[in-house]
Amino acid sequence: MARAQDVVAKHAALLEPLAQLFTSRGETLYMVGGSVRDAMLGRGVHDLDFTTSARPEVIREILDEWGEKVWDTGIEFGTVSAIRHGETVEITTFRSDLYDGVTRNPEVTFGDTLEGDLIRRDFACNAMAIELSLDDELRLSPTFHDPVDGLSDLVEQVLDTPQAPEVSFRDDPLRMLRAARFVSQLGFTVADRVFDAMRDMAGEIERITAERVQAELDKLMLGARPWEGIDLLVSTGVASYILPEIPALQLETDEHMQHKDVYRHSLTVLRQATELEDEGPDLKLRWAALMHDIGKPATRAPKEGGGVTFHHHEVVGAKMARKRLKALKYPKHVISDVGQLVFLHMRFHGFGEGQWTDSAVRRYVTDAGELLPKLHKLVRADSTTRNAKKAARLQRTYDHLEERIADIAAKEDLARVRPDLDGNEIMQILGLEPGPEVGKAWKYLKELRLERGELEHDEAVAELKAWWERENA
């Protein structure tokens, strides 16, 4: 409670005038939801969320007087927002919505009590409130309200619903995804009854649009422990409806087809990838880490003499990753980059220690392009062997590759590998007009550049002419 009061005190210059305006209108005002939860956890509080007895039109009138800028795009749902001194507040009238059990869009109904508003929230730890009450001198004197005992859940780091979870999830199935998201963000676990309800009602998630699913998955994937959020979705069956490629990694084994647990391996790679991040959470890297082996179930085949192979699983997996991310309505650049990382993640393993030619290094860098730093992290994270000597050898080999890349990059501009002759020179030398022949010639010179490195101008011209003669022989 002290931490939450500290947040109120920190913003007293902002909130005291606001509380005074509401009190003068005979209305109550409460800080609620994630603002209170994060304050009590000692996490940073960014946007300030409030609920109030005031109806939307009254909120608007008060904020017009208090705020520097006000917007009411959510007023039909009882929400009005404002900004003052760089701080954003969002204030919503008490709600007591009715759900139809078909969509997640409620029939908006305004309530009359704080308790009625809090009990309809997703989790008890998000259903605590701090009343911005005033003393006799009209100074802030905050009062803590916790009608559903969210503080106990906060202390125990557990997610439980204020109502029966079956009621909560039937009202809004997106709350099942929010449970997994909070597991990732906060490190909490779910109550047994919440887990059971998620398992029994997993199919209800199909009522949610792909856009809303994607938004929650983003927050989950960018959390502190995304592998735990994903594991909750898989173990409850929710993932089978929104990310079926991930539970499919739980391959059955028999005495003739032994291999590592691909699902657990993928979660480990995701965890190790997050540990390698050096500039904050990387959504594309994390998705690639989770999905890098999703092509394995489709490519698994027995190996003569025992064991199993997954030939070209990176090719199949890249296509599957693009298809799934497209279905989840991800932007094209996310789909393309994650697919390319999955496609390239095995390239390193095609070369043994010390067997990388200059040509192979150039192709590796060129094919990765701007994704090269992410590819470095993905490949390193993909080493999950318990054999310490093997793990050290793999990391040492990749160290050597990065040294080779740096060495060649110091001699050549690997970031902009281009043919030694441009299109205009090609047309002039071969006497061509613009057309497909010029493109073929350019592609040939690009391959030559990757294979042999930078050529002298006269050498490049001679190679082009020789190629043209062969093409037209």
Map the chain to HEC letters: CHHHHHHHHHCHHHHHHHHHHHHHCCCCEEEECHHHHHHHHCCCCCCEEEEECCCHHHHHHHHHHHCCEEECCCHHHCEEEEEECCEEEEEEECECCECCCCCCCCECCECCCHHHHHCCCCCHHHCCEEECCECCCCCECCEEECCCCHHHHHHHCEECCCCCHHHHHHHCCHHHHHHHHHHHHHCCEECHHHHHHHHHCHHHHHHCCHHHHHHHHHHHHCCCCHHHHHHHHHHHCCHHHHCCCCHHHCCCCCCCCCCCCHHHHHHHHHHHHHHHCCCCCCHHHHHHHHHCCCCHHHHCEECCCCCEECCCHHHHHHHHHHHHHHHCCCCHHHHHHHHHHHHHCCHHHHCCCCCCCHHHHHHHHHHHHHHHHHHHHHHHHCCCCCCHHHHHHHHHHHHHHHHHHHHHHHHCCHHHCCCCCCHHHHHHHHCCCCCHHHHHHHHHHHHHHHHHCCCCHHHHHHHHHHHHHHHCC
Q: What is the pLDDT of residue 472?
A: 83
Q: What is the pLDDT of residue 98?
A: 61
Neighbours of 385 (CB within 10 A): 13
Q: Residue 45's closest CA among 10, 80, 15, 2?
A: 10
Neighbours of 107 (CB within 10 A): 8
Note whether 78 and 56 are within 8 A (CB).
yes
How far apart are the C-alpha atoms of 168 and 174, rounded to whole Å?
10
133: Cβ contacts below 8 Å, ≥ 6 apart: 19, 28, 140, 141, 142, 143
Q: Residue 186's closest CA among 144, 226, 215?
A: 226
The token duo for 192 is: 């047994």
Q: What is the pLDDT of residue 331?
A: 95
| Phi/psi of residue 153, nearest 5 degrees | -65, -40
Neighbours of 370 (CB within 10 A): 8
- Which domains does the chain show, CATH number per domain? 2-155 (3.30.460.10), 161-243 (1.10.110.30), 249-416 (no CATH), 423-471 (no CATH)
How far apart are the C-alpha atoms of 411 and 436, rounded to whole Å?
32
| Phi/psi of residue 46, nearest 5 degrees | -100, -85
Q: Residue 222's closest CA among 283, 174, 171, 268?
A: 283
Q: Residue 237's closest CA among 173, 297, 288?
A: 173
Q: Residue 120's closest CA among 60, 169, 180?
A: 169
Residue that has been written with the tokens 């259903």 in this structure: 127
Note whether 365 and 411 are within 8 A (CB).
no
Q: What is the pLDDT of residue 412?
A: 59
Residue that has been written with the tokens 């409670």 in this structure: 1
Q: What is the pLDDT of residue 256?
A: 44
List b or e across 24-59, with b for residues whose CB sees 16 or more CB atoms inside 10 angstroms: eeebbbbbbbbbbbbbbbeeebeebbbbbbbebebb
Q: How do the pLDDT tens digits run along the chain, 473 residues long?
A: 666 677 777 888 889 999 999 999 999 999 999 989 988 888 877 778 999 999 999 999 999 999 999 999 888 889 999 999 888 999 999 987 666 556 656 677 888 899 999 999 999 999 999 999 998 888 989 999 999 999 999 999 999 999 999 999 999 999 999 999 999 999 999 999 999 999 999 999 999 999 999 999 999 999 999 999 999 999 999 999 999 999 999 975 544 445 568 999 999 999 999 999 998 999 999 999 999 999 999 888 887 777 778 888 999 999 999 999 999 999 999 999 999 999 999 988 766 655 678 778 888 888 888 999 999 999 999 988 777 788 788 888 888 888 888 877 766 555 555 666 777 888 888 888 888 888 888 788 877 777 777 778 888 888 888 888 888 87
257-262 long-range contacts, CB within 8 A, separation 24+:
257/300, 257/302, 257/307, 257/308, 258/306, 258/307, 258/308, 259/300, 259/307, 259/308, 260/384, 262/293, 262/296, 262/297
Q: Residue 163's closest CA among 99, 224, 214, 213?
A: 99
